[in-house]
Structure 1
Amino acid sequence: MIKGILFDKDGTLIEFMVMWHQVMTYIFDELEHVFHMDNDTLTALKHLSGYGPEGFQKESMIQYVSTTDIIRQWYQVMTNDSQPASITRKQLMKLFEKHAVRKDIPIQVLEGVERLLQDLKSEGYYLGIATADTLESAEYSLKKAGIYDYFHYIGADDGQYEAKPSPQMAHAFCQQMAISPEALLIVGDSVTDMMFAQNSGAHFIGLETPYNDSNQFIHNQYPTVDKIYKIMDRLKY
């Protein structure tokens, strides 16, 4: 019997593409004009990140890799030719956090999210978030979207737990809510979320989006939905 539900955030509850494309546009613009990063390095970072002028590639790292790990991979590109980078890792982290909480960044919940969370909470489910974002940006976006108060737990890139697909955030949620992994449902829109559920010993429902490879969910025989509010029907199994 499912007692707790751990959601991915961006792309699952909150609109992903418009929000993060704007954040990344600001970051790349500042890297170019403030930190004077050369065009070849910028192009390489954009390619690595799956970033294009109009959106992101499917399963891009921005969807599922923690901010800490994005910075690590970026830094490998920035220092690949043994030249010192024009920005430190600490400055990069501040850059992500600065632009992720800008007031002009559009943040909106996906269709049916608030009604779903109301229904789940009224039925007694424990609700949590497991995201690759920093804790500061995760809390900011949840509050701005008006859904922060629905959650009993927020797991994020705060240095306390390993990022998904490590099971640490799921196990921390289970421990806090005093439930077993067998009573946990993980809901997400990426292959990393699916692996997170597998590693955690939890149930999984995949959300089909234009930015993921939902065939992987079907191949692994997991239920999928095309709208997040449809997980209510799946909870009856």
Structure 2
Amino acid sequence: MIVRVGKTAFDVDMIVFDKDGTLIDLNAAWAPAARIWIETSAGGDPTTMNALEVELGVDDDGQLLDGGSLASEAVGQITARTRAVLLSNGVDESAAEQRMKAAQAGIDQMTIDVRPLGPVRMIMERLAHAGLILTIASSDNASQIHADLVELGIESVISAVAAGDGPWPPKPHPAGIIALADQFEVDPHRLLMVGDSLTDVAAARNAGAAGVVGVARADGTCAIAPMVDAVVQSIGELIVAV
């Protein structure tokens, strides 16, 4: 099936979508959680907070940076980075674990702002109706992915999910994407990756995907533009050729 993005065409059977920054607004969803995680883990200490912001990829305005840990890595990786910063700033291991547990508890009590990037439900239903297999490869845990898909109203058109807490290494490792392809007996060369981060690009290229489409930020910038085959402002620019 031919999927066109501007003047670029891909002959594919499956599309693998990233979630945060691709289908939903990354910072609307996770910047408040990042603040809770950093402040609680640091115990309010300004020096430790600053070190965590640098390590995890948060700017001076509290926004998640493109390619940063919080924007692209799985929970286990973020936790490991946080633990290392706390220990290097004089926090003993027991206190570090207690702080991170408290931080996670605070996040668990939050209501995540799932803000779609455009008419996501309509677009995904159109792509599924055309016969494409739609899947998700995200660094989030499976439970959070499912909750977000329900909130977006697209859980019924998503055929499978590769989550950050799945039985394979998280992106940029290609195993999750390959597992999605194998599940539907799709050659990885006949899948298209749509995402917004370097981990999406690396995972797709290493899996042998037909192509990678980068999703730009609201201001039109796309940090991964030099590494992808096409750039879109939203997934609405994915057109199935009739």
CA distance in 1, matches of 2:206, 2:217: 23
Instruction: Note the alpha carbon deviations across 1:173-192, whole angstroms, 9 max, x for none.
Output: 01111110011111001122
- Say if 1:208 and 1:226, in contact at 8 Å, map to a contact too: yes
The verdict on how the C-alpha distance between 1:134 and 1:113 changes in structure 2, with shifts beyond 3 A counting, is: same
Corresponding residue number in structure 1 for 2:45? 38
Gaps of 5+ in 1: none
Instruction: Tell me how far apart the structure 2 counterparts of residues 183 and 94 of structure 1 sit (CA, whole Å).
Output: 44
Whole-Å separation in 2 of the counterparts to 1:101 and 1:178: 39
SS at match of 2:139: strand
Instruction: Indicate the larger mover: 91-100 or 150-159.
Output: 91-100
Change (3 A) 1:200 1:39: same
Q: Scaled by the length of structure 1, what TM-score is found?
A: 0.85
Match of residue 87 from structure 1: 96
Aligned counterpart, 1:169: 176
Which TM-score applies when normalising by structure 2?
A: 0.84
Is the 1:206–1:214 Cα contact (8 Å) retained in structure 2? Answer: yes
Counterpart of 1:53 in structure 2 is 61
1:209 corresponds to 2:217: yes
Q: What is the match of residue 83 of structure 2?
A: 75
What do you get for the CA RMSD once the two structures are aligned? Answer: 2.6
- State the identity %: 23
Q: How far apart in 2 are the matches of 1:92 and 1:211? A: 33
SS at match of 2:78: helix
Find the counterpart in structure 1 of residue 204 from structure 2: 197
Determine if contact 1:185/1:205 at 8 Å carries over to the other structure.
yes
Task: Check 1:142–1:92 CA distance in 2 against 1; reply closer, same or farther (3 A cut).
Answer: farther
Aligned residues: 229
Per-residue deviation, 1:222: 1.0
Match of 1:138 among 131, 142, 145: 145
- Residue matched to 2:7: none
TM-aligned CA deviation for residue 101 of structure 1? 6.5
Q: Is the 8 A contact 2:141 2:165 kept in 1?
A: yes
Indicate the residue corresponding to 1:8 in structure 2.
18
